Amino acid sequence: MDIRFVYFDLDDTLLDHRHAERAALLDVRTTFAEPFAGLDDTTIHETYRACSMPLWRQYAAGAIEKTDLKRGRFEQLLAELDIDTLDAQTVSDHYLRRYASHWRFVEGARRAFLHVADRFPVGVLTNGFAEIQTQKLDQFPMLRDRTEAVVISEETGYMKPHPQVFNHAADAADTPPDRILYVGDSYHSDVQGGRAAGWQVAWFTRNGHGGAAEEAPRLTFDTWDMLLDRLR
Ligand SMILES: [Mg+2]
């Protein structure tokens, strides 16, 4: 592997999005206790993900607006849970405030990121709402201080896995695509997107998505030490 630049995905690769999402939903349940009475954590979280993910796909495809996605995922959640006494926008606003209070690194990711950044020029390439991803970078200053490039896909007008996002990022890194390694957790956005753009990929399978892959990359890892070993 001849690697000249390493890009990291942000959510569920460096930062523990899934933890923050779940914790924020529990805060929503605590704040709006009566309508959510009798619903357990897992039901709320899984229902939310089932509502949110198809809307993200539609948003990525340009079929709906950001505001529709933000409010729509809570409209659907409340409908699925048979809650008709809450306003989706109010719940969404509360959720986003609480979500921001629960951000943290994935276990081992901070140390691994710094090790890799000592050896290679590195960058961050992330999907997600630009204003929220910007807040995350502000909260963890090393993600800007130690990187040569930060690309938030929304700012390019496309989202991963669209090749334009990767092409834009390769230009920002001033590195040929086949010399870039992309480290990410999503088979669809990161592995397939990176490959289609001619990048090398390292797939982080911590969340157990391994089964869905048609063709797992040679560099697949589920602990950060494994990645560091492979890059040694
Ligand atoms: Mg991710």
* CA 24 / ligand 1 centre spacing (Å): 18
Q: What percent of the chain has pLDDT over 70?
A: 97
Decide yes or no: CATH 1.10.3720.10 for domain 17-100. Answer: no
* CA 185 / ligand 1 centre spacing (Å): 5
Calpha distance 229→232 (Å, rounded): 5
Question: What is the chain's alpha carbon radius of gyration, rounded to the nearest angstrom?
Answer: 18
pLDDT digits (tens, 9 = 90+) for 164-202: 999 999 999 999 999 999 999 999 999 999 999 999 999
CATH number of the domain at 5-15+105-231, out of 3.10.310.10, 3.40.50.720, 3.60.10.10, 3.40.50.1000?
A: 3.40.50.1000
Q: What is the pTM of this model?
A: 0.93
pLDDT digits (tens, 9 = 90+) for 91-131: 999 999 999 999 999 999 999 999 999 999 999 999 989 99
Length of the chain, please?
Answer: 232
* CA 34 / ligand 1 centre spacing (Å): 33
* CA 35 / ligand 1 centre spacing (Å): 31
* CA 16 / ligand 1 centre spacing (Å): 9
